Amino acid sequence: AGTDTILSVNNIEVIYDHVILVLKGVSLSVPRGGIVALLGANGAGKTTTLKAVSNLLRAERGEVTKGSIVFDGERVDRMTPNELVRRGCIQVMEGRHCFGHLTIEENLLTGAFTRRDGAAAIRRDMEMVYEYFPRLRQRRNSMSGYTSGGEQQMCAIGRALMSRPKMILLDEPSMGLAPQVVEEIFEIVKDLNAKEGVSFLLAEQNTNIALRYATYGYIMETGRIVMDGDAASLRENEDVKEFYLGIG
């Protein structure tokens, strides 16, 4: 705590199943209160990087075998996902992962599971989530499995907010959604960042939108960071334009 960097990933290697080397020395950092984009094609290692931080790797037989991860001033690479959540770092997984047979409101409540404060505080935060996501308020009593893809993505982010995070690791929020809905979600991310001070590390294949909302970006290829810089400079970079923005 007390520094202006909330997350630093230092030269990590990740291996799946003891043999498959997927991350080959990845370093990145996220300033406190920042929105940082992690970009690259399918399979580049973005999801693996996020899971290394949140420690969801273990569930997939993955392991950080080198390097270190510091969140909010503390080494976290040996902690469980729940310990990370309690310290304020939570991942919203790709594919949304709401409980389809629970209502939106019940899904939000599951997000408060690590908290030890009372029902009143949890109610207040649910109200806060509904302020940011009016669509979730409208659909609060619908089973999430019957809501739209955009609403399910909102539900997944809303549920993460119920743990009162300092930082959200957001994996591919644009996936499978119409451009208008993607825009709506990124606007809310921007608001949460500005008003609640939540920091974001955002994995995206949609380079264009990610670089409009992030202030800094890292580009990955086959398990390495190959380029990084201010979002504005990446948008103007000829290689980025050609390979990632499709405007060469």
Q: State yes or no: residue 217 binds ligand ATP (CB under 6 A).
A: no
Confirm or reject binding of residue 20 to ligand ATP (CB under 6 A).
yes
Q: How far is the CB of 161 from ligand ATP (least distance, A)?
A: 23
Please report whether residue 25 would count as binding ligand ATP according to CB under 6 A.
Answer: no
- Whole-angstrom CA distances from 37 to 98, 115, 214, 234 are 24, 29, 6, 11
C-alpha distances in angstroms, 50 versus 23, 54, 133, 230, 247? Answer: 11, 6, 24, 20, 28
Q: Pick the binder of ligand ATP from 48, 152, 153, 193 (CB under 6 A).
A: 48
Shortest Å distance, C-beta 49 to ligand ATP: 7
For 63, phi then psi, to 5°, come to -150, 140
Distance CA 46, CA 39 (A): 7
Strand partners, 7: 30, 71
Is 116 strand, coil or helix? coil
Question: CA nearest 91: which of 181, 157, 175?
Answer: 157
Among residue numbers 109 through 168, which ones bind ligand ATP (CB under 6 A)? none
Query: Whose Cβ is closer to ligand ATP: residue 49's or residue 152's?
Result: 49
Dihedral sign of CA atoms 2, 28, 74, 98 in order: positive
Q: How far apart are CA 86 and CA 81, in angstroms?
A: 9
**Residue number, 4 or 17, with CB nearest to ligand ATP:** 17
Q: Contacting ligand ATP (CB under 6 A), which of 34, 45, 165, 217?
A: 45
Task: Determine the interface stretch with ligand ATP among 41-49, 95-103, 113-121, 154-162 (rule: CB under 6 A).
Answer: 41-49
Task: Tell the smallest beta-carbon distance from residue 145 to ligand ATP (Å).
Answer: 23
Give me the residues paired with residue 163 across strands: none
Question: Among residues 130 and 213, whose Cβ is nearest to ligand ATP?
Answer: 213
Q: Does 206 bind ligand ATP (CB under 6 A)?
A: no
Contact between 96 and ligand ATP per CB under 6 A: no
Residues that bind ligand ATP (CB under 6 A): 16-17, 20, 22, 40, 42-48, 60, 62, 94, 172, 205
